[in-house]
Amino acid sequence: MASASADPLAIIGASGALGFGLALRLAQAGVPIVIGSRDESRARETAERALERVPGGRFSGLDNEGAAAEAETVLLSVPFRSQSETLHNLHGVLRPGQLLIDATVPLAAAVGGKATRMLGVWQGSAAQQAAEMVPEGVRVVSALHTVSATSLADLAHPLEQDVLLCGDKRADKTEAAALIERIEGLRCVDCGRLEMARTTEALTALLIGVNARYKVHAGITLSGLPEKLWE
């Protein structure tokens, strides 16, 4: 296990595939994980399940509000149909200065459509909707839309791929990158302002189609970039 971090990360939606995979990988890297769920008992069960996969990892389970109150960084990994309600319920808990990493994708599957199609979001993207809903002073970065949940949960599987970050402040993206890059094999790339999330989110639908066609769990790697991407 990598060197431990004293700062916990709250993962809202860690009982889902992507959130659970991220919890495993980050705990393996030494990050204390607070698992959030609408049902606290389900959060505790997920924490126990994660501990079985990563013995020695630090996991706890709370309801969403309790989890968000425990950490300075919150990772939101919920289906698009739950994003608005979840953020509404967290509004009284989220506080200025917190970093919210949003991994939500507005797939048409949220309303019974195909997972290879996107829904139109009035604000432009799920991340922009999140930024509109959180209290003033909460920093929002969009990330992790192209990383396979299946690959994350397979701890023996090498990742070797890029994570596309969008956010309005370089410092916020740098902070998010420092956390995400604790996962071996992930490299973060600055893709511009938060409004660019409408493009990075849509890549999820594209990859779902590619992966179904080739029966793989492909990710994305950008070529030709400089060796040092973050100061």
pLDDT computed for residue 6 by the predictor? 74
Mean pLDDT, the chain, integer: 96
Q: What angle do helix axes 80-90 and 126-133 make, rounded to 10 degrees?
A: 10
pLDDT computed for residue 129 by the predictor? 97
Residues 51-68 have pLDDT tens digits of 999 999 999 999 999 999
Residues 152-203 have pLDDT tens digits of 999 999 999 999 999 999 999 999 999 999 999 999 999 999 999 999 999 9
User: 40-54, 106-120, 139-153, 165-179: which range is least confident on average?
Assistant: 106-120
Q: What confidence tier does 3 reach under pLDDT thresholds 50, 70, 90? A: low
Q: What confidence tier does 110 reach under pLDDT thresholds 50, 70, 90? A: confident
Q: What confidence tier does 1 reach under pLDDT thresholds 50, 70, 90? A: low
Question: What is the pTM (predicted TM-score) of this model?
Answer: 0.96
Question: Residue 182 in contact with residue 51, Cβ under 8 Å?
Answer: no
- Residues 105, 106, 109, 115: is their CA dihedral positive or negative? negative
Residues 73-84 have pLDDT tens digits of 999 999 999 999
